[in-house]
Structure 1
Amino acid sequence: MLKTPTKNREKLIILLALIVIATLSFQLNFFRAAESSHFESFDKGSQSLVLGSIVADKLSLEKHGSHIGFLSIGESFDYMKNMLDAYPIFSGEVPDKDVFYSPYKSQYGIQGPVFSKAYSLFSLKTIEQLQLLNSTFFALVIALITLLYIKIYNLRFATIFFIVMISSPWIVVFARNLYWVPALWFLPAVFALLAYQAKTRMSQAIFITLVGAAVFLKSLAGYEYLSAITLFACSVFVIAPIFNSSTRKKRENLTLFSLTFAACVLGFICALLLHAGMRGDTILSGLLNIFEQDVKRRTYGDPTTFDEVFKASLQSSPLDVLKIYTNEWNTYLFAYLPGATFKIMIIFSALGFLYTTLTKKSLDKNNALIFTFFFITSSSWYLLAKGHSYIHTQLNYVLWYFGFAQALLYTCTTYIAVLLKDFRSTLKERSLKKSNAIIVFIFGFCALTFYSTDSKRENEFKDEIARLSTSDGPTITTPSNLTVKLTRNGELVLYSENCRQVDLKKTFYLHVYKTDPQTPEDNYQNLDFEWKQFELRPPRWPSRYANSCIAKVPLPNESITKLDFGQYSITNGSIDISWRDSLSLEKQVSKITATDLSDANWKNGVSLHGFFVSNNFRNRQALKVGGYLKFSASGLRRISALEYTDSYINITVDGAPLNPVLDGYPNEILLQP
């Protein structure tokens, strides 16, 4: 009699412990899973939509039928200028009369009224307090899934799931964001797990209905990742039979899978119809608007019917998208493992499957099913919404954590255990057959890992060659068969697709002639270099770029008139020049604009006789002491001084003080010949 209360108490303690641990990770980045800058700045633009709703409700602003929207200070909303205005407004730093609201109707926006109600109901004051509600809700959902996995799957899979979730940089940065509300991504899975556990048809029906209701809520908060959310919820009916010997028949699991999938689709359709009423005069016109403006833009629409910024995404293939999210990791994977580990773990799992199948003489169906189903789950959005995924690489790596990252770690640990067991058995039995199989496995793993790592380098090299071949900028082909190009960001690039005839061991000389030398001795700067100092390492054989070469040499942050370069060697104390060439430079812009900055010393980038612009190569080439500029209000002025910093060029002109309003940002300043 006492066992059940004791067990329930233990489960409750474990649940609370998991919630606390997950909340610490999600709210505070306690385990440093994500870089601090990534954690603090992640997608603040989207979150501002929810803050806009809260402020609009607080100030009784007209929301024009929307539930979320942007805020701006003192003017109508401009995406580039006012994206983050909601933060000082929410903090009370802006007078109410200067606040403008811009409706956002690309989704229904249920998170707006929900957080607005919580804000007033609990008398909250800060964004962090709102985020804590979000993080705790998400932690509760993850903790529940973990406990259910312990019961339905096994302790190892459940532990892996929880560790991956709290140590993934992508999950952690999303976790507290008020726009994304990631608890809604996984809430359908909680009800699906409960439906799998249910003993009666009535209980199953109730939980499957709740799955549909959860997807309905998620769809009202945005349609992102719905394919992955749906398949992850349905996964229990495919994966659970692997872990337990339930008497339930396959047909019943298939029926529950189908009903759960149908409930998800129905929840989405209900939300879509509700949203369509916001997007058109009728539901039908709203649906057409959503399909033409949103669905096509995010999937497989005609590139010619959308803005130029979407062209590359709509022309890309699903394979292009998968390559991006497999190869181009710039964060940890989970548990402080580098992102490059992702591809290595895929290779290890594939070889582990082959090794186990061949040595055990039977197909390793269980691990193959876990790997394959969760891969389909996570990658479904990459394939269905490839336009969205191609563009939003700052977001969509999170999709791998809808089961695949966890499945990957699970299968890898499984195959490591198999290898260790076989290795011990080999030592004990002195079995030549097993030892050969282990050697082949290790050799194959190393070879494939080496090849996959080099294939990334090949893609990078190929892209760089293509960019250099098509980009503009002063270019010459030298007697040594090297092409030399000056790039927009002020790098001197030397490259060739066939460097066999170039002796890269000889020293390169580079003389940089300045536009305004301070002394005769300062006429040029000597920047001699060795190739390996600046080379982009080429891929190895058998890549077609194995004999190609690229070196990118940074140039000084000053205006330049000419570059002399070549190669030489020193023999018996005398200099032997192999080849030489030069590049004369001209200004590449005809107009500039002062920097958009106003503070105590500057207004619109202007202060008395001076203004400043970005320190980039084109601006450096355009400006020189003694040159003339024509301002909108102040007319023709002579440049009397130039001062360079790492980020800016400070320009002083003669004559009366400039007019910050009419001469400063955003007015154009013309360069005179």
Structure 2
Amino acid sequence: MAILPRSSRSAAFFFLCVLVVLFFWVFNPSGVRSNYGDGDGKYEDRGDSFSEYIVRNTIRKNVLTPGLGFFPIVANSYSTGDYTSYEKGYKKYYSNLALQTVPASYIAALIGIQDYDKFQYFFIFLKLVNGLLFAGLLMGFLYLWSKKTGLQVFWPVPLLAASASGYVFFSQNLYFVPGLLFLPAMIVAYGACMKGRINLVLVFIAGLLCFLRGYEFATVFALLTAFAAFLFSDGQIYKKIKAAIVVFGLIVLAFICALCIHVALCMIETGLSIPDSISNVFSALSKRTASTTGVVKPLTLQFYNVMTYRWSLPGFSLLNTWTALSEINVIILMITALLIRVRCMDWNELSIYVFGFTGYVSWYVFAYQHIMWHDMYDWYVFSLTLGLAFIMLLTLYINKVIVFAGARVGRIYE
């Protein structure tokens, strides 16, 4: 049984947990995969190679054919199913800034990468760094929560995080950079838990960085950060709600500022007017967030069939020789635990349930077409919301059982 470490052992223990999680994410012993994600084994990212190769091609273009431009590129060959090359032509991708391409391009140019094979090694390195960043922030957040809650055992956390299918799929994706989603939540957790106050400036900057990367899963991101503020804030319920509202407002403000920067850069690059730049930047917005183009209608029999299939897929799977815990299994277990615990749980425990379910539903409400169009995005959103809540709740209840059993054994021997 792994006891939560103290003093000198804590850093080594935490680093070991991060490495365990990263090992499972990189080598994927559970064998979960998506044909769309990796092009049936043809491409590098198991979650969404279409998006990742936007970043890869942009970095190569920036280094090999530098020129004015703030935006990433989409290769013309995408239409024929070839993501690997932009040499046959490309167009600018105005929907997101993909800010991560800027420092990555600078580093690649600085170390003198020129040929295709060296770029491939460079991208492998970036994916490992990407996964390490995400694992470190995720485990840091959960470790601080365990410390604040006074939990005695931590071993379920790295095992559950390592086996969460959505993390396995997207932990290293160079386009989504999942660590940025957890950065403000980690800042909130560290500030409240270790410093006694939340650094709102850093939360805003972290939120801005995330949105300058892209806007996908914005509702999940905002709710996750607000959830962290509620969870780690001390005091009465109204103080915790106030902290969550303030942090949520900062993320909204960061979103607005990122939009302004995005439109301004589009104006500079294209020479378009403000209205035309706004139209250019958000050309896909109405389709992704306010339509049912190419997908089944909400709450129909076809919608039910789609969700039945998605929920049958693994939510947690550590090894492919073990039985996977499907998404519907997780949902049923959480609903059952909620009904059992509802009369005796505190506000923090209740907030885990509220975040898990509202966070998961939020992207289906505010970006229905987008998530229905891409099956594998459900894995990601599920792991970021209900999956994260399940990790926390299972760890919490295992600790309660151990404490209860220890107390009963102690009374027997008195």
- Indicate the TM-score class for this superposition, using the shorter chain for normalisation: 0.7 to 0.9
CA distance, structure 2, for counterparts of residue 199 and residue 41 of structure 1 = 38
Call closer, same or farther: CA 1:402–1:116 in 2, change over 3 Å. same
Call closer, same or farther: CA 1:377–1:153 in 2, change over 3 Å. farther
Q: How does 1:204-353 map to 2 (within 5 A)?
A: 204=198, 207-240=199-232, 246=234, 248-280=235-267, 281-291=272-282, 293-301=283-291, 310-312=293-295, 315-317=297-299, 324-325=306-307, 327-329=309-311, 331-336=313-318, 341-353=326-338
Letter in 2 for 1:392: H
**Equivalent residue, structure 1, for 2:23:** 24
Letter in 1 for 2:213: A
TM-superposed CA distance for 1:338, in Å, is 5.6
Call closer, same or farther: CA 1:323–1:217 in 2, change over 3 Å. farther
Matched residue of 2:73: which SS? strand
TM-superposed CA distance for 1:144, in Å, is 1.8
CA distance, structure 2, for counterparts of residue 225 and residue 99 of structure 1 = 32
Matched residue of 2:175: which SS? coil
TM-superposed CA distance for 1:167, in Å, is 1.2
CA displacement 1:359-394 (0-9 Å, x = unmatched): xxx454555442223211222111111111111112
CA distance, structure 2, for counterparts of residue 322 and residue 122 of structure 1 = 51
CA distance, structure 1, for counterparts of residue 304 and residue 248 of structure 2 = 25
Q: How does 1:415-434 map to 2 (within 5 A)?
A: none
Call closer, same or farther: CA 1:325–1:162 in 2, change over 3 Å. farther
Residue from 88, 92, 103 that aligns with 1:103: 92
Q: How does 1:363-402 map to 2 (within 5 A)?
A: 364=345, 367-402=349-384
Letter in 2 for 1:59: L
| Contact residue 317 and residue 324 of structure 2 kept, 8 A | no
Matched residue of 1:102: which SS? strand
Call closer, same or farther: CA 1:102–1:341 in 2, change over 3 Å. closer
Call closer, same or farther: CA 1:282–1:192 in 2, change over 3 Å. farther
**Equivalent residue, structure 1, for 2:412:** none
Letter in 1 for 2:145: Y
Tell me, which stretches of 5 or more residues in structure 1 are unaligned? Answer: 1-5, 72-76, 90-97, 304-309, 426-673
CA displacement 1:170-220 (0-9 Å, x = unmatched): 2112111211111111111101112322556xx53xx22212211211111
TM-score by length of 1: 0.50
Residue from 160, 163, 181 that aligns with 1:164: 160
Q: How does 1:35-74 map to 2 (within 5 A)?
A: 35=33, 40-42=44-46, 43-62=48-67, 65-71=69-75
Call closer, same or farther: CA 1:321–1:210 in 2, change over 3 Å. farther
| Contact residue 34 and residue 170 of structure 1 kept, 8 A | no
CA displacement 1:261-317 (0-9 Å, x = unmatched): 1111111111111111244524444334445x232111224x6xxxxxx2435x435
CA distance, structure 1, for counterparts of residue 103 and residue 303 of structure 2 = 34
CA distance, structure 2, for counterparts of residue 157 and residue 393 of structure 1 = 35
CA displacement 1:102-154 (0-9 Å, x = unmatched): 32111112021122123234556222122222222222222322321222234
Q: How does 1:532-547 map to 2 (within 5 A)?
A: none
Matched residue of 2:316: which SS? coil
CA distance, structure 1, for counterparts of residue 251 and residue 6 of structure 2 = 33
CA distance, structure 2, for counterparts of residue 414 and residue 149 of structure 1 = 10
Tell me, which stretches of 5 or more residues in structure 2 are unaligned? Answer: 39-43, 409-414
Percent identity over the alignment is 22
| Contact residue 59 and residue 105 of structure 2 kept, 8 A | yes
CA distance, structure 2, for counterparts of residue 129 and residue 230 of structure 1 = 29
CA distance, structure 2, for counterparts of residue 100 and residue 284 of structure 1 = 28
TM-superposed CA distance for 1:66, in Å, is 4.0
Instruction: Say which is worse superposed, 211-220 or 14-23, in terms of deviation.
Output: 14-23
CA distance, structure 1, for counterparts of residue 179 and residue 311 of structure 2 = 25
More helix per residue: 2
Greater relative contact order (Cα 8 A, min sep 6): structure 1 or 2? 2
| Contact residue 316 and residue 326 of structure 2 kept, 8 A | no
**Equivalent residue, structure 2, for 1:142:** 138
| Contact residue 333 and residue 341 of structure 1 kept, 8 A | yes
TM-superposed CA distance for 1:351, in Å, is 3.5
Letter in 1 for 2:358: I
CA distance, structure 2, for counterparts of residue 392 and residue 157 of structure 1 = 37
Residue from 379, 386, 390 that aligns with 1:404: 386
| Contact residue 371 and residue 378 of structure 2 kept, 8 A | yes
**Equivalent residue, structure 1, for 2:411:** none
TM-superposed CA distance for 1:35, in Å, is 4.3
| Contact residue 21 and residue 135 of structure 2 kept, 8 A | yes
Matched residue of 2:15: which SS? helix
Instruction: Say which is worse superposed, 362-371 or 189-198, in terms of deviation.
Output: 362-371
Residue from 34, 41, 45 that aligns with 2:32: 34
CA distance, structure 1, for counterparts of residue 369 and residue 358 of structure 2 = 18
CA displacement 1:570-604 (0-9 Å, x = unmatched): xxxxxxxxxxxxxxxxxxxxxxxxxxxxxxxxxxx
| Contact residue 371 and residue 407 of structure 1 kept, 8 A | yes
Call closer, same or farther: CA 1:395–1:148 in 2, change over 3 Å. same
Matched residue of 1:19: which SS? helix
Letter in 1 for 2:72: I
Letter in 2 for 1:85: T
Matched residue of 1:34: which SS? coil
Matched residue of 1:312: which SS? coil
| Contact residue 68 and residue 103 of structure 1 kept, 8 A | yes
CA distance, structure 2, for counterparts of residue 156 and residue 194 of structure 1 = 19
CA displacement 1:73-106 (0-9 Å, x = unmatched): xxxx1432264133xx7xxxxxxxx553432111
Letter in 1 for 2:381: L
TM-superposed CA distance for 1:335, in Å, is 3.4
Instruction: Say which is worse superposed, 386-395 or 400-409, in terms of deviation.
Output: 400-409
Matched residue of 2:375: which SS? coil
Say how many residue pairs are matched. 377
